[in-house]
Amino acid sequence: MNTPERTPALRRAKILGTGRAVPERILTNDDLSRMVDTSDAWIRERTGIRARHVVKPGEAASDLAAQAGLRACEAAGVDPATIDCVICATISADMALPSCAVFVQRKLGAAHGCPAFDLSAACGGFLYGMAVAEGLLRSGLYRRILLCGVEVLSGFVNWQDRATCVLFGDGAGAAVLTLASEEEQEEGRGILSVHLFADGTQAEALCIPGGGSLHPTSAQTLAEGKHLIHMQGKVIFTHAVRNLSSACQAALSSQGLKPGDIDLVVAHQANLRILEGVAQRLGLGMERFYINIDRYGNTSSASVPIALDEAVRAGRIKRGDRLLFCALGAGLAWGAAVVRW
Ligand code: UT7
């Protein structure tokens, strides 16, 4: 194990199987209205969220990711022991050190000694992970990569700040990626393009300022709440609508496609109004967007793979369908991808 041979492939990478896992505990808008000065009506109207799942004490990101990963392996028809690389897109790993991915490798029973690492791109994490996994597969380094998007943001939310605590939820989604077969390649199926972007000038618009090398944890950083999520919601909102639309256009035009050619948009679920803005700019009706923000809230890097898994299992995605993925979050980091299923 772990002595990969490099045989660069001209074939595309593809998603072989997907899975998801969310904690059992559900927190409704009414529950939140008993904790902070908010209401079900405000949250639904401004975000589209009705409920979110949150972990119970002792439940960590790797528990959810491993569960989602096992389901993805099952759906893909692969033995977890044959997974030769584990990538976790997350900003809420079990511990500051080591990575969430090593716990997932252990809990999943992936190939002994296979590489496992985390990738930090917040809500854009799953798309960044797709680009990395695609590159590793096409370079011939690995053959079956498990990519998880997982967050337990309930541990990083300020439960006294109504502007943020109503938004986020916990969960995990996962996908097994491998190279397309010759037949799939000829049929034009697989990951057609992944376009990634970042804008560090907006880094502080959504951040957890404490606990890193700039503000190491101290009694003062804790008292100031620096270990919790800080967000300028309006700034993120404006950038999200504009940047997601242009990323989608870039991904589509790289393939000579128009928005109308897309069967389903699998987008990061941060705010229903953001997606309505993107739909309007792309000239698409909302029926082309898979929506589940009402039940999960914003699960950051988990939201795209959770939505994908739900759509697949609900029969919303058929062989040969053209899918458009897009996500934007802290960083700012964002991207879009076109996949032929
Ligand atoms: O995953 C990617 C990262 N995050 C995002 O994409 C989030 C992007 N931003 C958003 O989704 C929206 O900006 C929010 C949902 C966060 C906020 O919606 P908004 O329409 O931009 O509201 P706002 O921040 O302008 O606040 C409007 C009012 C304020 O009251 P005043 O100053 O007008 O009296 C807020 O204090 O709404 C108030 N408010 C609330 N009221 C009831 C803020 N949060 C709440 C709340 N319940 N939970």
Task: Tell me, yes or no, if 112 is annotated catalytic.
Answer: no
31: which residues sit within 8 A by CB, 6+ positions away?
A: none
Per-residue pLDDT for 157 more than 70? yes
CB-CB contact of 321 with 269 (8 Å):
no
Which pair of tokens denotes residue 268? 């990061």
220: which residues sit within 8 A by CB, 6+ positions away?
A: none
Q: Which atom of ligand 1 is nearest to the CA of 300?
A: 1
Site to probe by mutation for ligand 1, drawn from 52, 237, 274 as the one with most ligand atoms within 8 Å of Cβ, is: 237
Q: What is the pLDDT of residue 5?
A: 57
Site to probe by mutation for ligand 1, drawn from 32, 39, 46 as the one with most ligand atoms within 8 Å of Cβ, is: 46
Question: How far does residue 233's CA lie from ligand 1's centre (Å)?
Answer: 6
State whether the Cα torsion 312-20-157-242 is positive or negative: negative
Ligand 1, CB cutoff 6 Å, lining residues: 38, 42-43, 46-47, 123, 162-163, 166, 206, 233-234, 236-237, 240, 270-271, 274, 298, 300, 329
Taking only the tens place, the pLDDT of each residue in 277-314 is 999 999 999 999 999 999 999 999 999 999 999 999 99
Question: How far does residue 259's CA lie from ligand 1's centre (Å)?
Answer: 29
Task: Tell me, yes or no, if 123 is annotated catalytic.
Answer: yes
> What is residue 128's DSSP assignment?
H
Q: What is the pLDDT of residue 111?
A: 73
CA 171 from centre of chain: 10
Q: What is the pLDDT of residue 6?
A: 57
Residues 106 and 246: their CA atoms lie apart, in Å, by 39
> What is residue 176's DSSP assignment?
E
**Helices and strands (H and E) in the chain: how many:** 12, 13
What are the structural domains of the chain? 13-186 (3.40.47.10), 190-340 (3.40.47.10)
Taking only the tens place, the pLDDT of each residue in 235-259 is 999 999 999 999 999 999 999 999 9
Residues 280 and 224: their CA atoms lie apart, in Å, by 40
Which pair of tokens denotes residue 67? 């569960």
